Structure 1
Amino acid sequence: MDLWYLFNILWRKRWLIVLVTVLTAASTWIFLGSKAESYKARAVISTGIIEYKGLTLQKEGSFVQQFQIESSFNNLIEQMKSRSTLNLLTQRLLEHDLGVDNAAEPPFRQPDPGEFPFPQSEIDSIVQKLKTNLSDSINEPLTNQPPPSQKLAEAFGYDYQTLSEDLKIQRVGESDLVSVEYEAENPRLAHFVVKTFVEEFFKLYEEDIFYEENVALKFHEEQLKKRRAELDSIVQVINDYKKQNDLIDPNAQRGSIVSHLKELESDLEDQRKTATALKAQIDILNRKVQQYTRYTGDDYADQLFLSEDFNRIDQQIKSLQDKIIERKAHGNRNTRDLEAQIDELRRKQANYIAQGVPLNSELRQRVNEQVRSWIMETVEKKLDLELANAAIDSYEAEIQRQRQKFDKLLQDDSYLAGLQEEKDRVEKEYLRVRSDYDATRLRAEGLKNPLALVEPVEFPYEPEPSKRALFTLFAGVAGGTLTAVLLFLLAFIDNTLQNAWRFSQIVGLPLIGQVPKVHEPVLELHQLFAKEMPEKELEMLKESVRKLRSAIENQGVHQVLFTSLKEGEGKTFLTLMTAYALALKEKKVLVLDTNFRNNDLSAYKDQNTLLLKTNESLPLWKRIKRTLKGKAAGHTVGWQDPVLKNIHFIGNKGGDKSPSEVFANRDFAAILKQYRKHYDYVLMEAASVNDYSDAGELLPYVEKVVAVFSAEKSIGLNDKDALDWMKQMDGKLLGCVLNMVERNNA
């Protein structure tokens, strides 16, 4: 679709576009002129989102990214537009107009009495409630106040829906400011709405800020107490366990036990070596003694141990040895005092032994002094062995106790490690909660309302400019533009052939002429060609037929077939027009009606003049014009057209047979050859190609084919086979004629 075609559409529909533009502009001018004057009040608020002058400890960090800033502005504006905020404004407006606030000013609005379905008793009840709310609002939070009567608010035009539409709240560019605007028919109302809204929202916003921070502070305080109690509980458990198990430093205690175990094991080994040596010495001494007597040193020692005094000394020595081992187990190597006591007791034992064991006279006589010394030495060795064995038992018992204590310390250490891990976790959580609490407390202490009134509302003394001319111009331009766009869309979806350009784009066959559409119901060909017609479209029709005549003459053909894709595209009309045009040049023309399906051509046989019906109705203005001139549409009665002597018709009676069936057993080619001897041209018409095979059967009998297309019809998928047939006529297609073309598209 080229630009010229589009501009041509606009040019042909220019009066429609002008009419729509004028009507739209006039309607806008009248509408704006009928509107009452309006007054606008405006206030500007600084939000503190970008430039906050108070404490800048934010919960999630400062507003540094663009999406955070936009989100904060959107949240603030939505909060300003919320139902709870506008309900406060509604309540203040009703209080004013119903006289609740005892204002001396008259009400801003008076509802239409016919549309005010409230009895006085109900109004008094609402007024009383508003007075109660007004007095309670001093102590009650703003958000807890009940909403005003919805129906009453709607009657005054103060309901939520109306206020949310009329109250304009928006950010000022990319700044930190938000503007609040309200436009009304009353300047006092506009001023009151903006002023009251800003005041009420400031109170509500500040209340919300402190409420949120106080709730957050209380929450963090409770969390802090809970974590502190958990931490103290775990610390108490750890301390009690250490106290109950005598744990000061388990690691150091384990190291000390290991060191003591090494010393005790070393001393135990020494005692074992001593005991072994003593046993060997005792055996040697006993063998010596037995050489002289049947008694051994063990016998004397057994008798000695039966002594109560000796046995008491022996027990004292063993007790002192146990104390020495116990001191060593506790890391105290200073045992000289105990060792001195043992030495003293050993001397007593030695004296006791030296005094001799009570021997009978026979034994004394037999045993000499040497043997006696061996016996006494054996007794001393026996005593040392007993003390060594007692020390071994004590060392082993103490080592076992120390090992059990070491194992117990390992268990205690593992248990304390678990408690310590839990303590570290709780302590970490406690410190985090403490940090949150400190930050919240600091915010709460330094809290300040970030909103500030930068531009207070001023009383609107002058009404808003209506911009009547500007809006009228805009409406007219918009109306004309939309009309043009609509025409473009209609042209775009219109798939009819319309003109030569669209024909070439869609059909792709050679075009030898365009025939304009005429708006005459009947055409008298003699009058049409005899003189210049006042109607331009008729002159264009004559010239288009003459061009078609020239195309036939220039090709040098004499047998031409007229056909079309579909019915009603103008084959008969163009056949007659072409025949008449050729007859005007004194050519003999034979018109053969070979359209057996629709034999309209046969109806023109034996007529005095050719009157072609176009299936068009004459416009009303043309009929009136011709009536005033005394010229009726039609032809001259009783007159013979001289041109018709050169045109002969051969018609048919119609039927459902095809040409090949009609010409069966006849040599139609020979018949045409005989006709050619008497006529310069033979024009034939075939039925539509889409519906019938007639054109294909007549093709061998003609020299050229003229395909007629209607500009008012479209080409679809059903036409593809017929178009392909026309493109494959082996050069017999003279060309196509686009019929019924609107004059502006020609």
Structure 2
Amino acid sequence: MDLLVLAKVLWRKSWIIISVPLIAAFAAYLFTMDMTDTYISTAQIATGFTLNDQVQITEEKFNMRDADVKFSNLMNSMKSGLSMNLMSYRLLLHDLDPKEIPFHRPDPQLFTTTPKEIELVRGMVKRKLDSLSPLAASDPEFDMIRKFLEGYQYSYNVVKEKLVIERIPNTDYIEVEYSSEKPGLSALAVNAFCEEFMRYHQSLKTERSGESVEFLKQLADNKKAELDSRLETQKAFRSSSGVYAEGEGSIRLSQLTGLESQRDIIKSNIHRLQLTMQRINEDIKRIGAPVVTNNNQRILDLRNKINRLNERYITGGSTNQRQLDSLNMLREELRIQQDNSSRQGASLPQGYTVADLQIKLKDAEIEYEVERSNLALIDSKIRNLEYSVSGSASKEARLAAIQKEVELATNEYTQAMEKYNNAKNRMAASNTLRQVLRAVPPASPEGSTRWLIIGLAAFTSMGMCIFVIITLELLDGSIRTPDRFKRMIGLPLAGVINRIDSRNFNIRTYFNQQNGSPETELFKSLLRKFRHEIESLTGRVFLFTSPRKRDGKTFIMFSLAYVLSLIDKRVLIIDTNFKNNSLSQILGRNQGDLKVLDSRKSKLLMSAEGQQQKREQEFEHESHYDLINPTKYKNIYIVGNSGGGHESPAEILSGRDFGNLITVLADSFDYVLLEGAALNEYSDTKELVKYADKVVAVFSAESAIRQFDRESIQYFKSLGKKFGGAVLNRVESKDLRV
């Protein structure tokens, strides 16, 4: 459907679109007259799921998915029945407290109680509140508590309807709202809910995590005792064995190696001093006389020893300190022997006396004794170290085993402490709920929803009206308008006739009155347009037909004949609709001797013998004009039929030169109008087409196109140029303005 057409349809039915919302708004106004003001109080709870400012032992990274899951779990817990019950307990205790001004008072006609019952219920509710117990149907006090909750309007369904719990988007806060008719009640309800839920949530967390924390604490204490036992064992072993550190044997071994190196040096010095004293003694003996000593053999032996020892030292990698020390001693002795050999046969240097040599000898002897003393001390230390080193290997092995046990116990204790600390941290982190915004009694009520309800009622009813109108328009399969006719049928339109009241139809009155109704004036205008289209067609004989019965062929032909007569056109109407002779009945009224086209029908049904000869004799003398009947309308004539026949036009007109009749009559009239029966049901139209110049199809705007209609439409299209167009009859005047 075209949007412009749809808009015009809506505009045409705007009275419905306006009146229905007004009625709905007025009804909503009456229904909401008793509405009271509503006060909403708000509180906020920080969860700590996305931002936690508490001190934590371990650093946990933020996870958005985990936070969403936590929020979902928390919201479900807050909306649970127990949370609602705890708030109801608090509100009921407030109203039952004689020191407080109750927010609600039960209706005395529906709720009667005694002070004793009130005290009894207060005790029951207080115990349930302290123990965080829900109101279960299995409880013995269920009926009594529920009676008071319903009487004071604090039942589960009532408070749940007034309580709103939502997460503030993109924040760490949950907002809790409560609406009631009193500001103090709203504030008390919100704060009571937050306090009781946080207490309930704390008890759940403590119950779930308390056992695990205690277990981990006990485990850490056990590991600490085991570690202390291992440390005490290690301390006692070190005291008894003299080994205070792991690797102490290797330290002593390195000390022993150093002492042995010092001993070798001292021995080298002692040997050097011995040779020095020997040389001085020889010098003293040689004073005043040359001393000839042959040391060549000794020098050769020393050189051989030096060569062999040097070769062994190099072959061993030049790392043996003892070989190096021995090699140095042999080289020093070789040097002395060579010096002695060079002095043989020579006198002492000038300036040296025996006394001088004796002093040098004395100094050498003293130094010799010192070196011997050092050697004895070094040997003593070496013996002590060798003794201690020999027994420390097994002690160090035992100490190493004890140290491993200490390390293992230390690791187990550290791990136990880490688990204990993590559990305590999680327990502390789980208790992050806190009320960051307390509810206060609102100063003014919320904007009344009464006008919102009224506006919503009007808007909704308007939308429903528009929806129904559009739906009916879309579901309506009738032709209705010329535009829909062109889209649905596709035949050219020769004219459009609007619907008029045909019960007291008088066409003369319609055309004689000067200022008729809008429908009458529109009818005359459309009929004249149709007359113009007929005049513009090249033809004088027009066959009017329709796909269905009662589409208005008779009315269209008569109206067209009348408007043609107004311009002095002679019009002959031949009623060839033998199934329904409405034209004959209308125009031949009060004519008892109406001449009909099938008047000789009985004579034509003679016996077959001599039948054809009889017909020819009768029609030769028959005058074509004898069939014409005048009407009460000027320039309009009719050739009627008796109606009610079951034969087709071809059967009725068989033997008559109907084509010649039409030709003769057309010469005497400006227009000859024929009517054919409904094309969907009868073949009359197809039998009469050959006698007409143009075929005009009449469609009713009230009709919907069916399969038989499509076959008839296809036949009209097959006529080609002989088809003079279609007439859309009974179009509503309002649809013509769409």
State the TM-score, normalizing by the size of structure 1. Answer: 0.62
**8 Å contact 1:564–1:708 — kept in the other structure?**
yes
Matched residue, 2:89? 91
Does 2:625 align with 1:643? no
Distance 1:503 1:155 in 2: 69
Distance 1:743 1:667 in 2: 44
Matched residue, 1:527? 509
Matched residue, 2:248? none
Q: Secondary structure at the match of 2:695?
A: strand
Aligned residue type for 2:497: V
Distance 1:517 1:57 in 2: 91
Against the structure 1 CA distance between its residues 225 and 700, is the aligned structure 2 distance closer, same or farther, given a 3 Å change threshold?
farther
Matched residue, 1:710? 700
Q: How does 1:54-203 map to 2 (within 5 A)?
A: 54=54, 62-65=61-64, 67-97=65-95, 99=96, 102-113=97-108, 115-116=110-111, 120=113, 128-135=120-127, 137-138=129-130, 140-142=131-133, 149-150=145-146, 152-203=148-199
Distance 1:432 1:683 in 2: 117
Aligned residue type for 2:149: A
**8 Å contact 1:220–1:433 — kept in the other structure?**
no
**8 Å contact 1:594–1:652 — kept in the other structure?**
no
Match of 1:548 among 506, 509, 530: 530
Q: For residue 704 of structure 1, report the CA deviation from its aligned partner.
A: 1.2
Q: Secondary structure at the match of 1:85?
A: helix
1:423-478: CA deviations, max 9, x gaps? xxxx9xx9999699446523356345212222211112322221555554454344
Does 2:442 align with 1:460? yes
**8 Å contact 2:188–2:439 — kept in the other structure?**
no
Number of aligned residue pairs: 507
Matched residue, 1:12? 12
Matched residue, 1:513? 495
Matched residue, 2:37? 37
Matched residue, 2:272? none
Matched residue, 1:701? 691
Aligned residue type for 2:638: H
Distance 1:226 1:700 in 2: 121
Q: Secondary structure at the match of 2:43?
A: strand
Matched residue, 1:446? 428
Q: Secondary structure at the match of 2:435?
A: strand
Distance 2:455 2:413 in 1: 70
Q: For residue 83 of structure 1, report the CA deviation from its aligned partner.
A: 0.7
Matched residue, 2:574? 592
**8 Å contact 1:579–1:647 — kept in the other structure?**
no
Q: For residue 103 of structure 1, report the CA deviation from its aligned partner.
A: 4.0
Aligned residue type for 1:8: K
Does 2:650 align with 1:660? yes
For structure 2, the 5+ residue unaligned runs are: 224-408, 592-629
Q: For residue 510 of structure 1, report the CA deviation from its aligned partner.
A: 0.9
Distance 2:669 2:119 in 1: 107
Distance 2:562 2:590 in 1: 13
Distance 1:226 1:650 in 2: 127
Distance 1:223 1:568 in 2: 103
Distance 1:649 1:114 in 2: 91
Q: Secondary structure at the match of 1:41?
A: strand
Distance 1:11 1:529 in 2: 32
Matched residue, 1:675? 665
Q: For residue 92 of structure 1, report the CA deviation from its aligned partner.
A: 2.5
Distance 2:681 2:58 in 1: 83
Distance 2:18 2:420 in 1: 74
Match of 1:691 among 671, 678, 681: 681
Q: Secondary structure at the match of 1:34?
A: coil
1:209-255: CA deviations, max 9, x gaps? 2222225547879999999xxxxxxxxxxxxxxxxxxxxxxxxxxxx
Distance 1:577 1:658 in 2: 26
Against the structure 1 CA distance between its residues 28 and 661, is the aligned structure 2 distance closer, same or farther, given a 3 Å change threshold?
same
1:86-127: CA deviations, max 9, x gaps? 111222233333x2xx242343223445555xx648x96686
For structure 1, the 5+ residue unaligned runs are: 228-426, 610-639
Name whichever of 129-138 and 82-91 sits farther off.
129-138
Aligned residue type for 2:554: T
Name whichever of 150-159 and 183-192 sits farther off.
150-159
1:342-369: CA deviations, max 9, x gaps? xxxxxxxxxxxxxxxxxxxxxxxxxxxx
**8 Å contact 1:142–1:204 — kept in the other structure?**
no
Q: For residue 159 of structure 1, report the CA deviation from its aligned partner.
A: 2.4
State the TM-score, normalizing by the size of structure 2. Answer: 0.62
1:9-40: CA deviations, max 9, x gaps? 11101111111232233334444443112222
Match of 2:735 among 725, 734, 745: 745
1:70-93: CA deviations, max 9, x gaps? 333232222111111111122223
Distance 1:144 1:24 in 2: 43
Q: Secondary structure at the match of 2:668?
A: coil
Q: For residue 57 of structure 1, report the CA deviation from its aligned partner.
A: 8.1
Against the structure 1 CA distance between its residues 29 and 143, is the aligned structure 2 distance closer, same or farther, given a 3 Å change threshold?
closer
**8 Å contact 1:32–1:466 — kept in the other structure?**
no
Aligned residue type for 1:703: D
Distance 1:727 1:224 in 2: 102
